[in-house]
Structure formats: C-alpha cells, structure tokens
Amino acid sequence: MTAINFDQASELTYEKISNAMSNVQSIAADTARHFNGEVFPSHCTENQYYFDDDNYHGGWNTGFWTGIIWLCYEASGDEKFKKIAESQLPSFIKRINEKIGVNHHDMGFLYSLSCEAAYMITGNEKAHDAAISAARPLASRYRDKGEFIQAWGNVDDETDYRLIIDCLMNIPLLYRAAIETGDMHLDDIAYKHYLTTLKNIFRSDGSSYHTFYFNKQTGEPVKGVTHQGYSDNSCWARGQAWGIYGIALTEKYHYNEQGVTAFEKCADYFLNHLPGDLVPYWDLIFTPEDNQPRDSSAAAIAVCGLLEMCRYIKDKEKRAHYKKCADAIMNSLIDNYAVKPGDKSNGLLAHSTYYYKGNLGIDECCMWGDYFYTEALVRYLKPDWKLYW
Ligand code: GLY
C-alpha cells in the first residue's frame, strides 16, 4: 500500500463533529423506542437493520448499546437518554447475579460501558457492584501457567489454552476493580496478561496474531493462530485496532515506555496498511485490487485508541502526528461511512465486517462500530471526557 500523507486530509471542524453527533442522537433516540431495556439490538445488522436480541444468552455486545446511550446523555445532557440507559441496567445486574452467559472473558466490554459507566456518571451503587462482581469471573480465567487470561471455552481446556488480542479491552475492568476494592491481585493479573500479550501477540513488524496458544503444562508460548482474520500469517484489521486502543488503556493505568514503543509499532503498521479513504479492509493483507469489504469498526476503534494515547505520549511531534492521523480517519468516517437520519438503516456506522469467514455481518453496521464511532465523537466534543474503561 502506498504511504498516506495524513496532512492532506481536510480539516475536522467542531461544526462537523457537532452535526455528526446530532445525527447519532437522533438515530439512537429513534432506535431506543424499540430496543427498550429488555430487548437489545443484535451484534450486527442484517440488511442494515438490527434485529431483536436479549442480554442473557452469552453474547459480548450488549454493553455497547447502553454505552451509546450514556454517551448521548453526556453529549446532550438530555434526561431522556439517562432514563433509557437506566432502564437497561437491571438486565446487566440480573445477568451477573445469576451468572448467565459469563463463562468467557468479555466482562469488560459488557460491564465497563453499561454498569461502570452508570456509576461514573450518576453514582449508581447497584450498577457499580454489578461491574465489580463481573471482574471476578474474568479474573478466574487467569492462568498461572503462561500468565494470561484465557478468552474462550472452559478454563484449562487444552484446545482453548490461549489469549486473544481483544482481551486488552477487557482488562481495564480489572484495573478499575482493583482500585475500587483495594484487591491488588486483580491489577497484578491484568498487568501480567498485558505483558504476556505484548511479548507474544505482536510480530517484529508490529502486526499481530489474533490469538496465541500456550502449553498448558509448562506455560511456554506455542503459536499464533487467527480466528477472524484471513490467515495465521495475516493481520486481522480489528485485532490490530484492539491492540492500538488496548495498549493505550493499559498505559492509562500503568504508564511505561515499553508500552509506548509497542503502541507506535502497532499503530504504524495499521496506519501504513490503510487504503486511500483511511478505512481498512477487514484484514490488512488486502489491497484495493482484492475488492474486499471494509471494517469501519476497526477504524473507529483506532481513532479512540490514537486519541487516548495522545494523552500519554510525551514526545510533542509524535503526539501531533497521531492526532492528525485520528482526525483524518474520523473525517473519512463522518463523510463516507456515517448513517444519516432518513437513510435505510437503524445503525450509526455502515460498512463494518464482523466475521468474514463465518459469513457474519459482512458490510453491515455493528454495535461496537456504532459505539466507538460515538465515543470518538464525544472525545472530540469534550476533550476532558472521562472514559468508562
Ligand atoms: N471481540 C470480538 C470481535 O472483535 O469480533
């Protein structure tokens, strides 16, 4: 891919961001009339429309919907959004209290954006207790042999004895739970998981494997394998974006130079493999000639990660560079990918790909794409916004 000159992107104005956020609020308010607290939107759209789902059968995505509503509340101050978000909390509280669909690592995606956000914004103690409770099943997946959190399957099952790059987004719940409870074991295992991830999931060129296996008996690293990417040797676009934002989130809690270097390599690989409109194909191996669908959600995640890391990078020029990259990608998302009121869709960000080889959500909207697009808008509107992660 030819190197992109990020300086050439048009200016990202406050007015543009503000209009885009108004569109989000208008679509989300409309959508919330149907997805009302018990009924949740599906992972991704089918023919650009979300269908009915619930919060109880083990999915990883419902927190994004509640998170979008909290973001709309924070951006607008409109009490209607607060009420909608609050109406969704009982299902999260029930889910963790009754241990429904919690045998996986996605507790951060589910509880940071719903219940912990509720606590941060409104002081809701019940929601906070639910978020802290959700940190426990996540922590119980930590494996001493290998020093990582096992993402999927029953713990210690040899066929699933691996970490996945996405988990970098779940461990902030452990950092927060450690601060809130004083149980520093939670912080310790989260940080160990982070270090194990940095050491094994990234190749020397800064690209990533999606998942990485360890030997169950010895904890020795075994091999990197893809799940949602094109091949074991390619680089799944969303995985790389989880890397960008995930590293930035640990740097928030545990700043160190090793993380900054890892971030730069990971971000540079992503940025150097973008096509002309700055939104990646679903795997970074592809070029325009391959004619593959985009994953706009990866672009939105990367924008949030770049903006977050700009809070920690000490070098002024590097900070300015990554900010410029974030602005340029965001410009393209708003101009070319955002759904506008009146379009034939109830999503917010078009042209995402969930799982190409599984034939799931190809060139559709998805809940996390919608969430990270909205989070990015709020970051621009309110530079001192306190993140839920
Ligand atoms: N964390 C699951 C995904 O990114 O598809």
Contact 176 CB / ligand 1 (< 6 Å) = no
Atom of ligand 1 nearest to the CA of 166: 1
Atom of ligand 1 nearest to the CA of 368: 4
CA nearest ligand 1 atom 1, residue: 166
- Catalytic center residues: 106, 166
Sequence-distant (6+) residues with CB within 8 A of 149 are 105, 138, 141, 142, 143, 163, 167, 170, 171, 189, 190, 193
Sequence-distant (6+) residues with CB within 8 A of 380 are 12, 14, 17, 307, 330
Atom of ligand 1 nearest to the CA of 164: 1
Mean pLDDT, each 10-residue run in order, the chain (389 residues): 74 95 98 92 97 88 98 98 98 97 96 98 98 98 98 96 98 98 98 98 98 98 98 98 98 96 98 97 98 98 98 96 97 97 97 98 98 98 96
Residue 119 CA to ligand 1 centre (angstroms): 25
pLDDT of residue 2: 66
pLDDT of residue 38: 85
Residue 239 CA to ligand 1 centre (angstroms): 8
Residue 62 CA to ligand 1 centre (angstroms): 13
Bridge partners, residue 164, by sequence: 211
pLDDT of residue 58: 62
CA end-to-end span of the chain: 33
Residue 361 CA to ligand 1 centre (angstroms): 12
Contact 295 CB / ligand 1 (< 6 Å) = no
DSSP secondary structure string, 121-177? HH--HHHHHHHHHHHHHHHTTEETTTTEE--SSSTT-GGG-EEEGGGGGTTHHHHHH
Contact 166 CB / ligand 1 (< 6 Å) = yes
Sequence-distant (6+) residues with CB within 8 A of 255 are 312
Atom of ligand 1 nearest to the CA of 106: 1
Best residue among 110, 167, 211, 238 to mutate for probing ligand 1's pocket (most ligand atoms within 8 Å of CB) is 238
CA nearest ligand 1 atom 5, residue: 354
Q: Which residue has the tokens 């029930």?
A: 94
Atom of ligand 1 nearest to the CA of 297: 4
Residue 166 CA to ligand 1 centre (angstroms): 6
CA nearest ligand 1 atom 2, residue: 166
pTM of the full structure: 0.98
Structure tokens at 126: 């019940």
Residue 228 CA to ligand 1 centre (angstroms): 8
In the chain, helix, strand, coil percent, each to 5? 55, 10, 35
* Rounded CA separation 365/341 (Å): 15
Contact 238 CB / ligand 1 (< 6 Å) = yes
